Amino acid sequence: MSAQAHIRIIATGGTIAGRGDSPTKAAYTSAQVSADELVLAVPGLDEVAEISTETLFSLDSKEMGFSHWRSLAALIDQRLANANCDGVVVTHGTDTLEEAAWFLDLVGRWHKPVILVGSMRAGTALSADGPSNLYQAVSVCADPAAAGRGVMVVMAADILSGWRAVKISGTALNGFHAYPGGSIGYVSGDQVFFHQGPDPGPLAGRFADLIHNERPLPLVGTQFCTAGCAQLHNQWWPQGRDAGLVVAGFGGGTVPDTMAEALRERADSGTSIVISSRVPKVTVLPETMTLVENDWVVASRYLNPQKAAVLLSLSLAAGCTPLSSFEALH
């Protein structure tokens, strides 16, 4: 680990910047603390790297979306172009952190490390995890072995490839895991350990051209399947060649017959449809889903609905067929 590394911390809000009225109550307000205040709350951080900070957003991450992450990607691009910047750490709310990490992986062509970090408890909570998570994130970012690994997430001492990171709990300190696969390393004290080589996503940087242009990023609707969902009215589904719909189906991507027929009709009218699954560990393949895969109706492979929506939006914005993007997942 090099104490001379210059790491830029970009704050965007979230629980890690939150404050509550009581150290023992669950209630708190997100995005109350600046980047400078976050750094001051971490003893010894200045011994890990030379730190500079800025606050891009002060938002609860439930308010974050594609336009925010595009602005974030553009800022990261700008900061990493500076020869004096060795890496970027982004503090981010955990509600949409997995989508943010996936989005940045898809648009970023960065050799220098980009780390996303958050917390499961506000800074005023008993045993707040934000300071330790931030210390570990900066430690990873400052480690020379972090270069060339793509976007990463550091939470509860685990190092996860950004494209694999998934939130699995709303309360546990180790609320993230990697799927498919597992973590790529961990932090112990002030030591960083990688137990495998670089693991950039299969689509890393594919949509880099979308960072700096004005092309709209389509919003994508999501249909969640439950028992009896065949009776649901489908008039709200988006329609048109620039519109997208992700279906969180059952198991391997099955949907009720009446819904399948409605989805076929909507696809014929121009809407792009991705079939994912409502299960925690998604595996939806062309041969397991109810619908027949084609250029505009695709299986999500291992992407959960929220990540499938990100890839579908970027694919539509880039003018490529959803099939060409989702087939590249491996």
| C-beta separation of 263 from 293 below 8 A | no
Provide the strand spans (E) within the chain: 6-13, 50-59, 87-91, 114-117, 151-155, 158-161, 165-167, 176-178, 185-188, 191-194, 220-224, 244-249, 272-277, 297-299
Per-residue pLDDT of the chain (330 residues; tens, 9 = 90+): 445 899 999 999 999 999 988 888 888 899 899 999 999 999 999 999 999 999 999 999 999 999 999 999 999 999 999 999 999 999 999 999 999 999 999 999 999 999 999 999 998 888 899 999 999 999 999 999 999 999 999 999 999 999 999 999 999 999 999 999 999 999 999 999 999 888 888 999 999 999 998 899 998 999 999 998 887 767 678 877 778 999 999 999 999 999 999 999 999 989 999 999 999 999 999 999 999 999 999 999 999 999 999 999 999 999 999 999 999 997
- pLDDT computed for residue 2 by the predictor: 44
* Nearest residue to 110 (alpha-carbon basis) of 159, 67, 150, 141: 150
How far, in Å, are 3, 84, 154, 268 from residue 96 at the CA level?
Answer: 31, 30, 15, 32
**pTM, two decimal places:** 0.95
Helix and strand counts by DSSP (H, E) for the chain: 8, 14
Does 222 participate in catalysis according to the annotation?
Answer: no
Report the C-alpha gap between 37 and 40 in whole angstroms: 5
Within 10 A of 26 (CB to CB), how many other CB atoms are there? 10
Kindly report the length of the chain: 330
Report the C-alpha gap between 56 and 170 in whole angstroms: 25
71 burial class (0-12, 13-18, 19+ CB within 10 angstroms)?
middle
Report the C-alpha gap between 273 and 264 in whole angstroms: 9
- pLDDT computed for residue 3 by the predictor: 53
Which listed CATH number (1.10.15.40, 3.40.50.40, 3.40.50.2000, 1.10.1060.10) goes with 218-326?
A: 3.40.50.40
Give the residue extent of every domain in the chain: 6-194, 218-326
| C-beta separation of 163 from 136 below 8 A | no
Angle (deg, nearest 10), helices 97-107 and 66-80: 50
Report the C-alpha gap between 330 and 323 in whole angstroms: 13
Report the first-to-last Cα separation within the chain, whole angstroms. 32
pLDDT digit string (tens) for 299-326? 999 999 999 999 999 999 999 999 999 9
Report the C-alpha gap between 242 and 119 in whole angstroms: 36
Q: Phi, psi (5° rounding) for residue 275?
A: -100, 115
pLDDT digit string (tens) for 144-174? 999 999 999 999 999 999 999 999 999 999 9
Report the C-alpha gap between 276 and 247 in whole angstroms: 6
Longest dimension (CA), the chain: 62
- In this structure, whether the domain defined by 6-194 belongs to CATH 3.40.50.1170 is answered with yes
Selected catalytic residue, list 15, 53, 91, 290: 15
